[in-house]
Amino acid sequence: MGDAFAWTIPLIQLCFAVLFAAARRAGAAGEAGVYAGAYLLNAAAFAVSMLDPLLLSRAVSGATDMLFARPEP
C-alpha cells in the first residue's frame, strides 16, 4: 500500500473520537468521553509518526511513545 494511505488511520480514529464525543454530549455514559480521548490520543500518535521525514527520528519516536502511553489505574 505504501505511504499514500498513511493518513487514513489517524483520520478514521479521529472520526471515532468525534462520534464518541458527540455520543457523550448527547447523554451517553461517561465512558464515551474516555473513549473519545483515547481515540484522539491514538490518532495524534499515528499522525506524529508521519512527521518522521521532517523531524529528528528520536523526537518523533519519543512523542509517539508518550502519546501511546497509558496511565496505570
Please choose, from the candidates 40, 69, 66, 67, the residue with its C-alpha nearest in 3D space to the C-alpha of residue 32. 40
- Give me the residue spans of the domains in the chain: 3-68
**pTM given for the model:** 0.74
pLDDT of the chain along its 73 residues, tens only? 456 677 888 889 999 999 999 999 898 888 888 889 889 888 888 888 777 677 777 777 777 777 777 665 4
HEC-encoded secondary structure of the chain = CCHHHCCHHHHHHHHHHHHHHHHHHCCCCCHHHHHHHHHHHHHHHHHHHCCCCCCCHHHHHHHHHHHHCCCCC
Radius of gyration of the chain (CA): 14
Q: What's residue 1's pLDDT? A: 46
